[in-house]
A and B are shown apart, each in its own frame.
Chain A
Amino acid sequence: MSKINLIIDGQSIEVEKGITIMDAAKKINVNIPTLCHHEDLCVAGNCRVCVVEVKNHERLEASCAVPAEDGMEILTNTAKVRNARKDIVSLLVSEHNTQCTTCYRNTNCELQDLAAEYNVDGDRYLSVLKPNIKVDKSSWAIEKDDSKCVRCQRCVRTCAELQHVNALTVSHKGDEMKISTFADLPFNEVVCTNCGQCVNRCPTGALTERRYFDDVWEAIGDPDKHVVMNTAPSVRVALGEMFGNEVGTRVTGKMVTAMRKMGADSVLDTDFAADLTIIEEGNELLTRLKGALVDGDTSIKLPMITSCSPGWVKFIEHMFPNYLDHLSTCKSPQQMFGAMTKTYYAEKKGVDPKDIVSVAVMPCAAKKYEANRPEMNSSGYRDIDAGLTTREFGLMIKQAGLDFNNLEDSEFDSIMGQSTGAGIIFGATGGVMEAALRTAYAVVTGRSVPFENLNITAVRGTEGIRAASIKIEDTLPEWSFLEGVDLNVAVAHGLKNARVIMDEVAAGTSTYHFIEVMGCPGGCIGGGGQPIPTNAEIRAKRTKAIYEEDMSKPIRMSHENPEITQIYEEFLEKPLGHKSHDLLHTSYRKRNRY
């Protein structure tokens, strides 16, 4: 990379050619305000709050969009610049439904921060807010309020670039310009996967997750209800951020204590259900392999693809409706957990399942949708009654008046509170694959996977698609049909990459046996329900924490979880048995493409 020299605010610096003025300024600790810019996304340059003065340029330049050039002289803090920025923020406020006190993004809003920073005078301009804007609450997962939209198009770029869903687009022009779904249909009628990635990148309260925490409080307050809470692996490595902890801080013990103090009757671990998923899904894979490779059954579809990410599941239902047979029939851990809560748990605890309210705390917006899918009630009761995001849960902790950072640590309740390191790593891309391989290899060969500390690093990382191949040797007698087989696996995260993988499957060129797909970039640690902001650096730190948590667990393979052994002995009988079939497996449906 060649270097260039420029002067920013009187200070000379040398930077690599090609970086923007904004990034160059960062290097000398000059922060330039932004709104439409997001490091996960391509440059938009449309909000214009990042303008700076460049010597000999007639106009100000958007520093997020303009590359630094050799010999440039840049001023970031002149009256001209400050006035322009203030004017722009004032304009944004003038078309905004500024109701901060009742806004879900109050105190975590980029427009609010800018308005505060520039001490914007709300009376400077007339209000040009469009009257009668209706909040779209049609979706179980996402709410859209155009009156809070700053038209930064981060959502549009997220949905197009990262997710290849294109559920959102810019419609109309001029004063009517806005963010729309296809034909402005309600959110629940379009191709949206509910992944929540747009919500996570929206700088304001225009896109938010639909909140269910009031329902949860109500259940907690109801003496006749038995509230069972469970938390996904990636919540414990991100929740701390909401209380000022450094990114990547693990807060598992405090999180458990907080739930208990909030009044949950039982505090359990979704990771238990992740272990359960591995047993069911691992057996499903082995059965499929036998059917396809030994029995030559052509109705069996390979590759088998994971189904624990509900955003991904809805994506394939819309985009590749003729390939649903490739999906594992396993419900996601959340739904398995719910089904077991309303049956096995209820039986063991002697609680009437009709009185149980199962609450899932998730890094995810799509889990809300999944919880509401009509078919998710095979026990006769809803598997999950309410799905909360990490953010909602953090807010509840605040509402409960808990001094989170000073809570003592405590352990999950039992039964369904014990988990292994394999269940934990479900939270990061590649984790389901790694957990599945740890167990499947052990089942087939009677030995552990041949990797140091059981860490299958080939499937870890941030590459959008990662492939690996594991040779199966010296099998136990009943798995001899797998002797010498190279098991080809792949991992994809972010729906953009899922599409690439699926295009191969659809073209018949896929050589994989098993594929893990996570709907969100980075997997669940980067989920749409995680604390805002989320970006590459933050995802990396949360991922690191996930693997640390894995290493801290005494048991690191799902089939060795004693509670798993117990649930099969006492209730499920055997993997893929008829109870499993009824309670833990599901089916999918074809959907339209708009």
Chain B
Amino acid sequence: MANNNKLKRADIIFSTYSVDPYDVLDMAMKKGKTDVINELIESGLRGRGGAGFPTGLKWKFMAQENNEEKYIICNADEGEPGTFKDRKLLVDVPRKVISGMAIAGWATNSKKGIIYLRAEYNNLIPALEKEIEVFNKYASKFDLDFSVNIYSGAGAYVCGEETALIESMEGKRGEPRNKPPFPIQSGYLGKPTLVNNVETFAAASMVCRYGAKKYESYGTSDQHGSKLFSLSGDSPKEGVHELELGMKISDFVEEYGDGDTKAVQIGGVAGFCIPRKEFDQTIIGEGNTTGGATMIFNSTRSMYNVIHNYLDFFAEESCGQCTPCRVGTQQLLKGVEAVKAGNKPESYLDDLVKLSKTMKLTSKCGLGQSVTNSFSSIVKNFREEMIY
């Protein structure tokens, strides 16, 4: 079934389903909590928020936390430039998302669900609230003690980081926390908190719908299921695409590029920039992040401008609390400018790459830690463009 090398469009998450997702919830509840969690583990589903943590395992840890008050948070902050897949999910298939949350709540004995919604998506609230009302009816029918509320976000990119998100929900400044403790141990209001991406919940619901075996059969042997890609850049087919995992970048580019693709940014600004000569790898290969934004660049693009934009973004969106990220992002930005202007020697790029590695080693959260991904890959592969 799985097609290892060729691109395969999937129709799972957006499928027009014959089974109501709330019946999926019912089905799950008839199976038993451990079974559902094990099924999720088996399915190999990884978080779609960027870090790619195995979802089943996260739920298992959450289930092990003994506490009357536990929270399920759906991360709908989607602050990354070029991503709009979570928005599409909330508009097109909110029921799948909410059923995923409810299954998580039931399976981990958590009674409160919260959707942390990016402020820019506030116009979705009325429709979501209607959907929540529908859910509430089912919940009482199934005798399920689980509520869903919407929290309108603070508006900064870093607030999508799960601990900053929690801080902001607590009315504080959106700054990432020290880990440990992880949210599962001590999250919202100090209580065990499970944070998953919008897509992760929808996918979890689909795993319950189809079973791990079926879900696993999509994609390749080590990359299972389907995933949404928010495609932007030099592509005639910008938009959200659901694809089976495991395809090669070359196939992806063939399908979606404009015939003149020189690089693809995978995993959003926090991900890697893959040059044409490396298109042979699979799209979520070694170390590639699972974030949704995918950008295609053709030969007219200045990669200097691309990295300059990214660095501008990071320098502005860093929460500013930790030294390596706050100052490091500024140094990288000023540094590439200085090299370009001839005020620093070419070799300064190597110093900057080293600095970005220090940022990865020492930054407090994923933002500062991931700058090196795009920075090193662009400097390495497009060095001339950085200089001339």
Which residues in A have some Cβ–Cβ distance to B below 8 Å? Answer: 43-49, 51, 59-60, 62, 65-67, 80, 83-84, 87-88, 91-92, 94-95, 124-126, 128, 150-151, 153, 169-170, 172-177
B337-382 interface (Cβ within 8 A of A)? 338, 344, 351, 354-355, 358, 360-364, 369
Q: Are A59 and B360 within 8 A (Cβ)?
A: yes
Q: Are B319 and A126 within 8 A (Cβ)?
A: no
Tell yes or no: B107 within 8 A of A by CB.
Answer: no
The dominant DSSP class at the A interface is: loop
Q: Which 3 A-B pairs have the closest CB atoms?
A: A177-B320, A91-B327, A65-B178
Chain B hits for A87, CB < 8 A: 324, 354-355, 358, 362
Partner of A170, one of B156, B316, B321, B362: B321
Tell yes or no: B6 within 8 A of A by CB.
Answer: no
Q: Are A45 and B317 within 8 A (Cβ)?
A: no
Q: Are B324 and A174 within 8 A (Cβ)?
A: no
* Chain A to chain B contacts (Cβ below 8 Å), 9 pairs: A45-B364, A47-B322, A48-B362, A60-B362, A126-B331, A126-B344, A174-B314, A175-B326, A177-B319
Q: Are A175 and B323 within 8 A (Cβ)?
A: no
How many Å lie between the Cα of A91 and that of B324 in the bound state?
7
How many Å lie between the Cα of A172 and that of B178 in the bound state?
20
Q: Are A91 and B331 within 8 A (Cβ)?
A: yes
Tell yes or no: B126 within 8 A of A by CB.
Answer: no
Q: Are A48 and B322 within 8 A (Cβ)?
A: yes
Tell yes or no: B214 within 8 A of A by CB.
Answer: no
Chain A hits for B360, CB < 8 A: 59
Tell yes or no: B334 within 8 A of A by CB.
Answer: yes
Tell yes or no: B105 within 8 A of A by CB.
Answer: no
Range class of the B interface residue count = 35 or more
In the complex formed, the residue of B with least CB distance to A86 is B358
In the complex formed, the residue of A with least CB distance to B177 is A45
Tell yes or no: B4 within 8 A of A by CB.
Answer: no
In the complex formed, the residue of B with least CB distance to A49 is B323
Not counting A51-B362, A125-B331, a sample of 17 additional A-B residue pairs whose C-beta atoms are within 8 angstroms of each other reads: A45-B364, A46-B321, A46-B322, A80-B361, A83-B358, A84-B358, A95-B326, A126-B331, A126-B338, A128-B334, A151-B320, A173-B320, A175-B316, A175-B320, A176-B320, A177-B319, A177-B326
B166-191 interface (Cβ within 8 A of A)? 173, 175, 178, 180
How many Å lie between the Cα of A126 and that of B351 in the bound state?
12
Tell yes or no: B329 within 8 A of A by CB.
Answer: yes
Partner of A94, one of B156, B178, B331, B338: B331
Interface centre among B324, B327, B331 (most CB of A within 10 A): B327
Q: Are A128 and B330 within 8 A (Cβ)?
A: yes
Tell yes or no: B335 within 8 A of A by CB.
Answer: yes
How many Å lie between the Cα of A174 and that of B333 in the bound state?
12
Q: A49-B323, A67-B180, A87-B358 are in contact. Are A62 and B364 (CB under 8 A)?
A: yes
Q: A174-B320, A175-B316, A177-B320 are in contact. Are A59 and B328 (CB under 8 A)?
A: no
How many Å lie between the Cα of A62 and that of B173 in the bound state?
21
Q: Are A46 and B358 within 8 A (Cβ)?
A: no
Q: A48-B324, A151-B320 are in contact. Are A175 and B315 (CB under 8 A)?
A: yes
Chain A hits for B335, CB < 8 A: 125-126
Interface centre among B338, B354, B360, B361 (most CB of A within 10 A): B361
Partner of B323, one of A46, A124, A172: A46
Chain A hits for B363, CB < 8 A: 48
In the complex formed, the residue of A with least CB distance to B327 is A91
How many Å lie between the Cα of A51 and that of B360 in the bound state?
12
In the complex formed, the residue of B with least CB distance to A172 is B320
Tell yes or no: B108 within 8 A of A by CB.
Answer: no
Q: Are B362 and A88 within 8 A (Cβ)?
A: yes
Chain B hits for A51, CB < 8 A: 361-362
How many Å lie between the Cα of A60 and that of B173 in the bound state?
25
Q: Are B180 and A128 within 8 A (Cβ)?
A: no
